[in-house]
């Protein structure tokens, strides 16, 4: 239990950091909230006009916003689900003892180390229907009957982008889950072996419950990141109705349409959506971990 003097010292030590956060993050966030109630262009050619909740009411009936919202939800659901399953499998493998484990742990981080813009451009070339290596290898091996325009087909473009994101971000999930696995004491597995529990039973009754806190943190990180996805989609397809996410639509509104007021309202909506997901995760998934 901290004394009053220690508590005061702690607040004095964190005060500079809090001031920096308020200046760097708090002020721009307040500006976004402020302009979301105005009709204003980003160049301020005309004086901003107060319109109240008009931007938010238009947002509710905007078909482009609904399309971007559903694209973002689909991207988030599939990418986070696949990355969690594959990341958990990789973490369990590299957590076991085998020769060359250090080399494998380093190698799986290579996709994560590549900047997203670089990896997105690389996969854009690889998926090209004329000279892309995926089509060349697929047709030569007989997997593809003909070359496929993955990024031009409305039914294939979003799954292709999700696959690229899974390739890049699964190592991040594996790294977070591996850190959680290393905190589980090994003697409980020795006791389970003595009791005759199979590896499958040990996974469901020991590993998964004890890994839940790390799993919740990993899910929150990846879900927040996926909900505001921008770079991989914008580099690979630009502003495309089949893949347009909320962040891409927000950028289009602010930069292409120069609409500061409505763009700010979209930014606030993205923030609210992310906060809802965080509360849901902490309420349901985090609650399961504490209960167990």
User: Per residue in 51-106, pLDDT tens?
Assistant: 999 999 999 999 999 999 999 999 999 999 999 999 999 999 888 887 887 888 88
**Tokens coding 12:** 């004095």
| pLDDT confidence bin for 117, thresholds 50/70/90 | very high
Residue 5's pLDDT is what? Answer: 84
Residue 21's pLDDT is what? Answer: 84
Q: Alpha-carbon distance 146 to 144, whole Å?
A: 5
Q: Alpha-carbon distance 62 to 268, whole Å?
A: 15
Q: Is the pLDDT of residue 250 over 60?
A: yes
List the one residue out of 207, 2, 9, 8 whose CA is nearest residue 91.
207
| pLDDT confidence bin for 197, thresholds 50/70/90 | confident
Residue 105's pLDDT is what? Answer: 80
Average pLDDT over residues 261-288: 84
Average pLDDT over residues 158-172: 93
pTM of the shown model: 0.85
* Mean pLDDT over the full length of the chain: 89
Residue 286's pLDDT is what? Answer: 59
Residue 240's pLDDT is what? Answer: 87
227 with 80: CB under 8 angstroms? no
Residue 109's pLDDT is what? Answer: 84
Q: Is the pLDDT of residue 292 over 50?
A: no
Chain centroid to CA 98: 31
124 with 236: CB under 8 angstroms? yes
Phi then psi for 75, rounded to 5 degrees? -60, -45
Q: Is the pLDDT of residue 280 over 90?
A: no
């Amino acid at each position: 239990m901290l004394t009053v003097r220690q508590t005061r010292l702690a607040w004095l030590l964190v005060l500079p950091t809090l001031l920096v956060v308020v200046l760097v993050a708090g002020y721009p966030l307040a500006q976004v909230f402020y302009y979301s109630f105005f009709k204003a262009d980003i160049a301020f050619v005309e004086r901003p006009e107060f319109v109240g909740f008009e931007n938010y009411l238009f947002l509710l009936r905007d078909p482009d916003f609904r399309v971007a919202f559903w694209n973002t939800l689909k991207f988030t659901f599939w990418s986070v689900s696949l990355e969690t399953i594959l990341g958990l499998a990789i973490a369990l493998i590299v957590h076991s003892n085998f020769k060359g484990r250090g080399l494998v742990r380093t190698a799986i981080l290579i996709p994560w180390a590549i900047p997203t813009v670089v990896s997105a451009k690389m996969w854009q070339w690889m998926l090209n229907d004329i000279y892309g290596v995926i089509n060349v290898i697929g047709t030569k091996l007989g997997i593809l009957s003909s070359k496929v325009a993955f990024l031009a087909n409305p039914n294939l473009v979003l799954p292709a982008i999700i696959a690229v994101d899974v390739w890049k971000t699964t190592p991040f999930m594996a790294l977070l889950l591996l850190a959680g696995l290393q905190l589980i004491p090994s003697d409980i597995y020795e006791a389970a072996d003595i009791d005759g529990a199979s590896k499958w039973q040990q996974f469901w009754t020991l590993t998964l419950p004890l890994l839940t806190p790390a799993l919740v943190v990993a899910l929150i990180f990846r879900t927040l990141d996926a909900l505001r996805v921008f770079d991989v989609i914008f580099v690979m397809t630009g502003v495309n109705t089949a893949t347009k996410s909320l962040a891409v639509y927000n950028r289009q509104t602010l930069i292409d349409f120069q609409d500061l007021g409505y763009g700010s309202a979209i930014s606030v909506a993205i923030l609210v959506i992310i906060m809802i997901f965080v509360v849901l995760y902490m309420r349901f998934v985090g609650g399961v971990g504490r209960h167990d």
